[in-house]
Amino acid sequence: MRILWFGKPEDSPHQAEPIIYGQKTQCAKGHNPSNPLDEKGIQRLQEIVGVLLYYARAIDCTMLPALGSLAAAQSKASETTAKACTKLLNYAATHPDAVVRYDRSGMILRIHSDASYLSETEARSRAGGFFYLGDNTDDSSPDAPPPTLNGAIHINSSIMNNVMASATEAEVGALFHNAQDGCTF
């Protein structure tokens, strides 16, 4: 079933920070001082985040970083937050046919871990993890074929509470967080 939609096509669920080449220091994003939303606007934002969070966890994990940023900004929601929400809705309408594909595998839990350094407000970093069931192959040799990449059984996309001192520390923090999540499986 197709839905009629007259919005702006979006190929990215989240606004990327502009790249400044040659910059020696990295600074965290600050809060954008735009007009705050009223209670009705905040409630609409919470409803959208709730519905899309369920869809993103089940089917389209590309929305999780944008949803995490919107959820973190709910208490101080502003017009900028509403624009980010509209961008996410336009992305969801532009790409309505997301699918998850599972292939037969050896049922070995594999985790791909990553982090982004100082990508959130208040000098925070984001941890990400892709948990899937892969083949039982020895991938220690460089000539070994890569394991079969299956659909995700769990996705981690969270803002780390601690302020990290470097990108390496953010990567290790994300690895620790993903390993803790992996122990529950």
pLDDT digits (tens, 9 = 90+) for 158-170: 999 888 889 999 9
Mean pLDDT of 68-92: 89
What tens digit of pLDDT does each residue of 24-61 get?
766 666 666 678 889 999 999 999 999 998 888 888 88
* pLDDT band at 1; cut points 50, 70, 90: very low
Per-residue pLDDT at 176 exceeds 90: yes
* Mean pLDDT across the chain: 84
pTM greater than the 0.75 cutoff? no
Own/partner pairs, 35-41, CB within 8 angstroms, 24+ separation: 35/78, 35/79, 36/76, 36/77, 36/78, 37/77, 37/78, 37/79, 37/81, 37/82, 41/77, 41/82
What is the pLDDT at residue 27? Answer: 65
What tens digit of pLDDT does each residue of 88-116 get?
999 999 998 888 887 777 788 889 999 99
